[in-house]
């Protein structure tokens, strides 16, 4: 399919966002808002643009095509006074500014949020950084891995007999972008009552901390320090991947009624009445023993056979998907979870569709990622800011854009 027309609306249609910064956290926040219908104008450095254009695997890499979709690009050198003035004028037209520079950078460029909001009181400024805008670590350089470590995630990921591992995606950056988008939507809602914008201070480490469940509370009340547990969640059983004759199958049956249905599927209904496995707490205490019993059963079957049994007995379970399985799965196809876009240079390119779904204001991929930095200079600087052509030409000649 081709991308939808620029006029295709989503629930955030009419919201203008200026995205500053680069790499992952801020741009992912911009992607989420753009996917939901916002007009996202991305400011890139003239020339090379955002380094994300060159990140990823394959030649050419295609990560940019995902994180920069539904955006327009304007190239502005923010380190020069003329570029800062252009950015200021653009921000005056916006509802939201996203920036993920080191704290103090906007102030150094004379783009401090309090000054911007003097000229645009409704402006919402979302600031993403490693450690937040204040505190003793604020000026430290913070990438996603640091946030994942400080937020507690790295320490508990991996096998107990090995050093801390990592999730295979930039989860700290993505969480920070997601929580920032949530904060922006909350601020937009509040603005409808107050008529005023505000500053959102979002940090990588606190975004990771938000998904750490009861990790801090466990320590506070019981002195428990969570450690790496490999493929299991300690005390949650059965919930694991189990070996079959031709692969592995994941089963989650830790709730009592579901566990009874799993036992029936295994043709071992007596396990549900066994004192070792009769309730959630008992199964957690005998987790390793229960996993061995289930593994002994799954080893005698194929993945397909186990899948049929889990479906027929209403037990949550499934294969572990790679991209290969995703693009050929009938459920993905029926829900259009994967969208195929026609790219002028790459040809058909498949990527995740917009989520979640909206019944009345569907959100769609409206435009491809900008092909080069400043692709939309003319329409943004000329049409939106009403700069005359000779002024745009002069800015380009001097390298400001």
Which residues are tagged catalytic?
173
Task: Please state, in angstroms and as integers, the Cα–Cα distance from residue 371 to each residue in 14, 18, 160, 375, following that order.
Answer: 24, 18, 45, 7
167 alpha carbon, distance to own chain's centre: 13
Q: Say which residue the tokens 């993905």 belong to.
A: 332
CA nearest 27: which of 71, 58, 62, 60? 71
Q: How far apart are CA 145 and CA 166, in angstroms?
A: 8
CA nearest 91: which of 126, 62, 117, 69? 117
By CB atoms closer than 10 A (0-12, 13-18, 19+), residue 66 is middle
CA nearest 105: which of 43, 20, 175, 44? 20
Q: Which two tokens stand for residue 207?
A: 């975004």
């Amino acid at each position: 399919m081709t991308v939808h027309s620029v006029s295709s609306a989503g629930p955030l249609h009419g919201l203008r966002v200026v995205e500053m910064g680069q790499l992952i956290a801020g741009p992912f926040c911009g992607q989420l808002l753009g996917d939901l219908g916002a007009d996202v104008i991305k400011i890139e450095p003239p020339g090379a643009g955002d380094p994300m254009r060159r990140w990823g695997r394959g030649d050419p890499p295609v990560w940019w095509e995902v994180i920069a979709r539904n955006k327009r690009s304007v190239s502005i050198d923010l380190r020069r006074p003329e570029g800062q003035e252009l950015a200021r004028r653009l921000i005056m037209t916006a509802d939201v500014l996203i920036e993920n520079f080191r704290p103090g950078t906007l102030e150094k460029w004379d783009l401090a949020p309090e000054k911007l909001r003097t000229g645009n009181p409704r402006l919402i400024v979302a600031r993403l950084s490693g450690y937040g805008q204040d505190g003793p670590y604020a000026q430290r350089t913070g990438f996603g891995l640091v946030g994942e470590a400080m937020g507690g995630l790295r320490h508990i990921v991996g096998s107990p007999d090995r050093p801390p591992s990592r999730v295979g995606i930039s989860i700290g950056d993505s969480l920070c972008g997601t929580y920032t988008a949530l904060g922006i939507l909350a601020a937009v809602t509040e603005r409808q009552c107050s008529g005023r914008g505000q500053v959102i201070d979002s940090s990588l480490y606190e975004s990771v901390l938000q998904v750490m469940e009861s990790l801090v509370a466990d320590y506070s009340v019981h002195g428990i320090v969570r450690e790496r547990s490999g493929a299991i969640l300690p005390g949650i059983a059965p919930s694991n991947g189990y070996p079959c004759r031709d692969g592995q199958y994941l089963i989650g049956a830790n709730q009592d009624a579901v566990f009874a249905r799993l036992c029936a599927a295994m043709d071992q209904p007596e396990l549900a009445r066994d004192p070792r496995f009769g309730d959630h707490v008992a199964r957690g205490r005998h987790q390793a023993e229960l996993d061995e019993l289930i593994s002994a059963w799954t080893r005698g079957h194929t993945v397909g056979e186990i899948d049929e049994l889990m479906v027929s007995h209403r037990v949550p379970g499934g294969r572990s998907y790679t991209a290969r399985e995703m693009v050929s799965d009938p459920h993905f196809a029926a829900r259009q979870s994967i969208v195929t876009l026609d790219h002028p240079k790459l040809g058909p390119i498949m990527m995740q569709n917009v989520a979640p779904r909206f019944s009345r204001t569907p959100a769609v991929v409206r435009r491809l990622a900008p092909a080069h930095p400043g692709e939309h200079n003319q329409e943004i600087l000329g049409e939106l800011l009403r700069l005359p052509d000779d002024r745009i030409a002069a800015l380009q000649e001097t390298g400001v854009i």
